[in-house]
Amino acid sequence: MSIDVLNAYAGIGGNRHLWPSDWNVTAVEIDERVAAEYARRYPNDTVIVGDAHAYVLERAHRFDATWASPPCPSHSRLAKVVASRYGRELQPDPRLWEEIAHLRELGGRYVVENVHVYYEPPIAPDVVTPRHWYWTSNPPLMLTAVHGTNILRPDTRAEDYATAYGLPPLERGTVPDIRKAMRNAVVPAEGLEIAAAAFAGF
């Protein structure tokens, strides 16, 4: 099934790792070094270094399907706890909700992934897993149990994330922060099951 997929906020491509080889993927990632690592891992994808939020709003309609993983720090429960310890206010980035609303309005096939937010979400998630919330055009009826979610602690090493996720490890120096890059990745099995359900029908 050949489809054109936009992979926004692509990171190192954990969500994309098990996608079918005949999907034509365009990845957008703002960090040049992370984008270079993605391109090394998935040489057949088109990789664009740029603002994924603007790309989703302006060009998602040109694709058969969209996956978006906007930054999570302003929505994270852990970040809220840390901010509170230092007496700081944490304001959720509204672009997450803008993208979900935009993709819903387009009426196409989409997945938006983020963390479990610390506040009442303006749009309820369609799928909840131990690590993530997903908003999707077509949720899977059931998800296979994902290996490795029990090791996800703040002090987990990058190598352990890679092993648990089933991803190739990151070499030192390839990205600015290998632990952050690996921690932010979507477990590939989850990325495949969510995307396959959402993008079905072509």
Given this model, what pLDDT does residue 21 score? 94
Give 41-49's long-range contacts (Cβ < 8 A, gap of 24+): 41/12, 41/13, 41/17, 41/168, 42/13, 42/16, 45/7, 45/16, 47/10
Coil, helix or strand at residue 78: helix
Q: From CA 202, how far away is CA 196, in angstroms rounded? A: 11
Kindly state the average pLDDT of the residues 148-174. Answer: 84
Kindly state the average pLDDT of the residues 55-61. Answer: 98
Q: From CA 99, how far away is CA 54, in angstroms rounded? A: 10
pLDDT digits (tens, 9 = 90+) for 106-143: 999 999 999 888 788 999 999 999 888 999 999 998 88
Cα–Cα nearest to 49, from 69, 66, 32: 32
Identify each DSSP E strand in 70-177 by its residue range. Answer: 109-115, 127-128, 132-136
> Does position 180 have pLDDT exceeding 60, yes or no?
yes
Structure token digits, residue 194: 């969510």
Given this model, what pLDDT does residue 22 score? 95
Choice between 51 and 94, residue whose per-residue pLDDT is larger: 51
Average pLDDT of the chain to the nearest whole number = 89
Given this model, what pLDDT does residue 141 score? 87
Q: What is the DSSP letter of 146?
A: P
Q: What is the DSSP letter of 38?
A: H
Architecture per CATH, 4-146+186-198:
3-Layer(aba) Sandwich (3.40)
Structure token digits, residue 33: 């070094």
Choice between 119 and 53, residue whose per-residue pLDDT is larger: 53
Q: Where are the domains of the chain?
A: 4-146+186-198
> Does position 83 have pLDDT exceeding 80, yes or no?
no
